[in-house]
């Protein structure tokens, strides 16, 4: 960066000198040249929307992970890490020169905005200023230190000059993470208590990527024993997707049977998740066309199954839902018929 600044000043000086030999233009001194701005955590840990980071470990396929930013909100970012075996969700916060992991759910399969969640963790991952020798406590399990700033790192995704952060855990384990400017973590090296080493490398970054979610849409089927059947659709979700808008579009598209979940101008305003009460509240713009208990149940089964909730409460613009002579008050809900399970995100 300093070379670019120097070149810019030199060009300005040459032009001024050629224009008028008798000018009073002064040659800039070293004190006139601004110092490059200090690197921040966001330089080494950029938040990239709609980008999929693929990590693999030589000889350890179980450590393969795809990391995707699902939601952002203020100083927080929510990420999903998925392997063949498990999917987890984490929320990180960059504030006051510190990057912290404040929430982690190791078996969370649902697509849901958790950026406003109350912190349950206090794990300090990075701390400014980013300079060699900077130390901090990761948490009660270990201590971290910046042990290098321009370490040459080779990965399948490319070669980098990376910042090395070494963490020594109280049980004797060691972890080295390598952060590249404008990219993020490009390599992680673990050393176990018995001296074995495990390496995880960034293999590729796929830009303009979407999460492909198979969603079961339930519809009435008089010939089925249960009275309904389901149609699986691949649904694309991006960073900060508005799921009420996504489901409105999907439910206005007729299924293979011709069934339409949201006819006319009816749309979904919002979907609110209450995990504590195993409940989701679905707010409609109106009840035109979605008037029967059967129609409401098909929507409830579809959304309840997707969110893994057993109860669905319908509302209209925040008020009680009334249709077909029945009113769903604050304590009323539709029990999800199908078993609420984990929505698998590929």
Could you give phi then psi for residue 69, rounded to 5 degrees? -80, 115
Other C-beta atoms lying within 10 Å of the C-beta of residue 109: 18
Looking at per-residue confidence, does 195 or 95 come out higher?
A: 95
25 near 13, Cβ under 8 Å?
yes
Residue 83, pLDDT score = 83
Question: pTM for this one?
Answer: 0.81
Q: Is 183 among the domain residues?
A: yes
Other C-beta atoms lying within 10 Å of the C-beta of residue 221: 14
103 with 172, same domain: the answer is yes
Q: Is 23 among the domain residues?
A: no
Boundary residue ending a domain (206, 234, 262): 206
3-state secondary structure the chain: CHHHHHHHHHHHHHHHHHHCCCCCCCCCCHHHCCCCCCCCHHHHCCCCCCCEEEEECCCCHHHCEEEEEEEEECCEEEEEEECCCCEEEEEEEEECCEEEEEEEECCCCCCCCCCCCCCCCCEEEEECCCCCCCEEEEECCEEEEEEEEEEEEEECCEEEEEEEEEEEECCCCEEEEEEECCCEEEEEEEECCCCCEEEEEEEEEECCCCEEEEEEEEEECCCCCCCEEEEEEEEEECCCCCHHHHHHHHHHCCCCCCCCCCCCCCCEEEEEEECCCCEEEEEECCCCCCCCHHHHHHHHHHHHHHHCCCEEEEEECCEEEEECCEEECCCCCEECCCCCCCCCCC
Least confident of 108-112, 151-155, 264-268: 108-112
Boundary residue ending a domain (153, 177, 206): 206
Is pLDDT at 23 greater than 50 in this prediction? Answer: no
Spatial distance between the Cα atoms of 299 and 305, rounded to a whole number of angstroms = 10
Report pLDDT digits (tens) over 182-212: 999 999 999 988 888 999 999 999 999 998 8
223: Cβ contacts below 8 Å, ≥ 6 apart: none
Question: Rounded mean pLDDT of 233-258?
Answer: 95
131: Cβ contacts below 8 Å, ≥ 6 apart: 146, 149
182 with 59, same domain: the answer is yes
Q: Is 33 among the domain residues?
A: no
Q: Is 255 among the domain residues?
A: yes
Least confident of 16-20, 252-256, 339-343: 16-20
110 with 163, same domain: the answer is yes
Q: What's the Cα-to-Cα distance from 82 to each of 3, 240, 254, rounded to whole Å?
A: 42, 18, 31
Angle at 344 between CA 340 and CA 346, to 5 degrees: 165
Spatial distance between the Cα atoms of 22 and 231, rounded to a whole number of angstroms = 83
Tell me the residue range of the domain where 329 lies.
Answer: 211-335
Question: Rounded mean pLDDT of 124-149?
Answer: 95
Other C-beta atoms lying within 10 Å of the C-beta of residue 70: 24
273 with 221, same domain: the answer is yes
177 with 305, same domain: the answer is no
Question: Rounded mean pLDDT of 70-85?
Answer: 91
* For helices 243-252 and 293-307, angle between their N-to-C axes, nearest 10 degrees: 130
Which one, of 344, 324, 330, lies nearest residue 279 by Cα?
330
169 with 289, same domain: the answer is no
126 with 192, same domain: the answer is yes
Q: Is 87 among the domain residues?
A: yes
152 with 258, same domain: the answer is no
Q: Is 346 among the domain residues?
A: no
192 with 226, same domain: the answer is no
126 with 153, same domain: the answer is yes
Is pLDDT at 29 greater than 70 in this prediction? Answer: no
Q: What's the Cα-to-Cα distance from 45 to each of 37, 92, 181, rounded to whole Å?
A: 16, 11, 7
Question: Rounded mean pLDDT of 19-40?
Answer: 57
pLDDT-derived band at 33 (thresholds 50, 70, 90) equals low
Q: Is 315 among the domain residues?
A: yes
**Residue % of the chain over a pLDDT of 90:** 70
Boundary residue ending a domain (182, 206, 230): 206
Domain count for the chain, please give it: 2
The CATH number of residue 124's host domain is 2.40.360.20
255 with 195, same domain: the answer is no
129 with 215, same domain: the answer is no
Q: Is 127 among the domain residues?
A: yes
């Amino acid at each position: 960066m300093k070379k670019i600044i120097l070149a810019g000043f030199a060009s300005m000086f040459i032009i001024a000198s050629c224009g008028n030999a008798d000018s009073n233009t002064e040659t800039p001194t070293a004190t006139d040249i601004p110092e490059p701005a200090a690197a921040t955590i966001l330089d080494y840990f950029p938040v990239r929307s709609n980008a999929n980071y693929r990590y693999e470990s030589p000889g350890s396929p179980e450590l393969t992970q795809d990391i995707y930013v699902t939601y952002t909100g203020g100083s927080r970012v929510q990420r999903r890490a998925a392997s063949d075996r498990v999917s987890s969700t984490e929320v990180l916060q960059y504030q006051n020169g510190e990057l912290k992991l404040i929430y982690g759910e190791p078996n969370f399969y649902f697509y849901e905005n958790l950026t406003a969640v109350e912190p349950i963790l206090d794990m300090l991952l990075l701390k400014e200023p980013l300079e060699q020798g900077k130390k901090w406590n990761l948490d009660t399990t270990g201590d971290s230190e910046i042990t290098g700033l321009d370490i040459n790192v080779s990965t399948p995704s490319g070669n980098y000059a990376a910042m090395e952060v070494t963490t020594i855990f109280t049980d004797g384990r060691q972890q080295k993470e390598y952060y590249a400017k404008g990219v993020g973590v490009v390599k992680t090296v673990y050393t176990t208590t018995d001296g074995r080493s495990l390496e995880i490398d960034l293999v590729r970054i796929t830009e303009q990527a979407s999460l492909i979610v198979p969603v079961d849409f339930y519809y009435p089927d008089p010939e089925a024993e249960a009275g309904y059947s389901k149609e699986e659709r691949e649904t694309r979700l991006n960073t900060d997707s508005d799921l009420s808008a996504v489901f409105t579009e999907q439910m206005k598209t007729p299924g293979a049977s011709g069934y339409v979940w949201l006819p006319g101008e009816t749309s979904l305003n919002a979907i609110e998740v209450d995990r504590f009460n195993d409940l989701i509240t679905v707010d409609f713009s109106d009840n035109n066309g979605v008037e029967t208990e059967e129609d409401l149940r098909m929507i409830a089964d579809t959304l309840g199954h997707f969110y893994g909730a057993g109860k669905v409460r319908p509302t209209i613009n925040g008020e009680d839902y009334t249709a077909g002579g029945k009113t769903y008050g604050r304590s009323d809900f539709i029990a999800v018929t199908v078993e609420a399970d984990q929505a698998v995100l590929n």
